[in-house]
Amino acid sequence: MAQRLEQGPLPLADALHCALDIASHLRELHEDGRVHGEIGSHLVVLRHSRHLLLPPNSPHGDTGSIADVTAFGTLLYEMLTSRKPTTEALLSTPLQPPPRKGPGAVYSAAVRLAERCVTAVPENAPSMQRVLTELRLLSVQTRQWAEAEKSAARPPDAPKPAPSTDPGEKAVALAGDAADDEDSADSQSSPGEEEDLMADGRCPRCRCSKVRVSRPRNRLERLLRAIGLPVRRCHRCYFRYIDLFKACLEMPAKKFNR
């Protein structure tokens, strides 16, 4: 961690992730009646999954849990700002009030938490459990704002990720897309869109009796239907045709702009 902080502060999400791991370790020590006694960036090992706080290099004296809280606040302040919390920095008042929402508000709250730990005294020292709880809340808020920013940056016409990864549902969706040119909606009857099964006549191609009146796809088909020559469609082979004076005239399968 000490080598990393020489390059500057950690990103907010990374700093909170590291602080959560360290605070969780310290909370367990304090619940067992033990303390660490030497918390600093030189003892923190950065990892992708879980950051480690190494044991102290030398046996600690009669330090109590408050010393661990103070040292943790110093480390958190360094991770957020890449500098140590001096008395001047802790007493200084920002020229502008902190933002009330967004990542800036979360960052300001994390800095204030670090300052409270650094200036902790026995009368108002927060426990590591309290510190851990606040860090978890800040981490959740950080993730929420990150997701909100991604959603805002996504183009309005960008396809949204499918909510389900079920192979069967994917197959249904792909089948629906593939059948679009075949007017797959005709297979589901609804009032005003499609008549009942034809009582007479069979498909001239496959001789199937399941022939319906197809919905008009363009101006020509609407005109044909108006003069009593509706387009018929076989539900087995998807053949579309009109019966013109007992002769079969195939209709184009491709949709035309209306």
HSE-CB for 131 with a 13 A CA cutoff: 35
Per-residue model confidence (pLDDT) at position 230:
81
* Helices of type H across the chain: 2-5, 12-31, 65-81, 87-91, 103-118, 128-153, 167-178, 219-226
Residue that has been written with the tokens 């929420």 in this structure: 144
Domain boundaries, the chain: 2-153, 179-250
**Under CATH, domain 2-153 is a member of which superfamily?**
Transferase(Phosphotransferase) domain 1 (1.10.510.10)
Residue range 74-98: average pLDDT? 85
Distance from C-alpha of 214 to C-alpha of 186, rounded to nearest angstrom: 6
Residue that has been written with the tokens 């300052």 in this structure: 115
Mean predicted lDDT score pLDDT of the chain: 78
Has residue 165 got a pLDDT over 60? no
Compare 181 and 7 and report the one with higher pLDDT: 7
- Band the pLDDT of 177: cuts 50, 70, 90: very low
Has residue 96 got a pLDDT over 60? yes
Q: Is the pTM of this model over 0.85?
A: no
Distance from C-alpha of 46 to C-alpha of 106, rounded to nearest angstrom: 22
Per-residue model confidence (pLDDT) at position 194:
46
Per-residue model confidence (pLDDT) at position 162:
59
Distance from C-alpha of 175 to C-alpha of 10, rounded to nearest angstrom: 48
- Band the pLDDT of 220: cuts 50, 70, 90: confident
Are the CB atoms for 120 and 73 separated by under 8 Å? yes
Per-residue model confidence (pLDDT) at position 241:
81
> Which tokens in the block code for residue 246?
């007992």
> Which tokens in the block code for residue 209?
């009796």
Distance from C-alpha of 4 to C-alpha of 75, rounded to nearest angstrom: 13
Q: Per-residue pLDDT tens for 130-154?
A: 999 999 999 998 988 888 888 877 7
Q: Per-residue pLDDT tens for 101-135?
A: 788 889 999 999 999 999 998 888 899 999 999 99
Mean pLDDT lowest among 39-43, 184-188, 206-210: 184-188
Distance from C-alpha of 228 to C-alpha of 210, rounded to nearest angstrom: 20
- What percentage of the chain carries pLDDT values higher than 70? 75
Q: Annotate 239-257 with b (16+ C-beta within 10 A) or e (fewer).
A: bbbbbeeeeeeebeeeeee
Has residue 179 got a pLDDT over 70? no
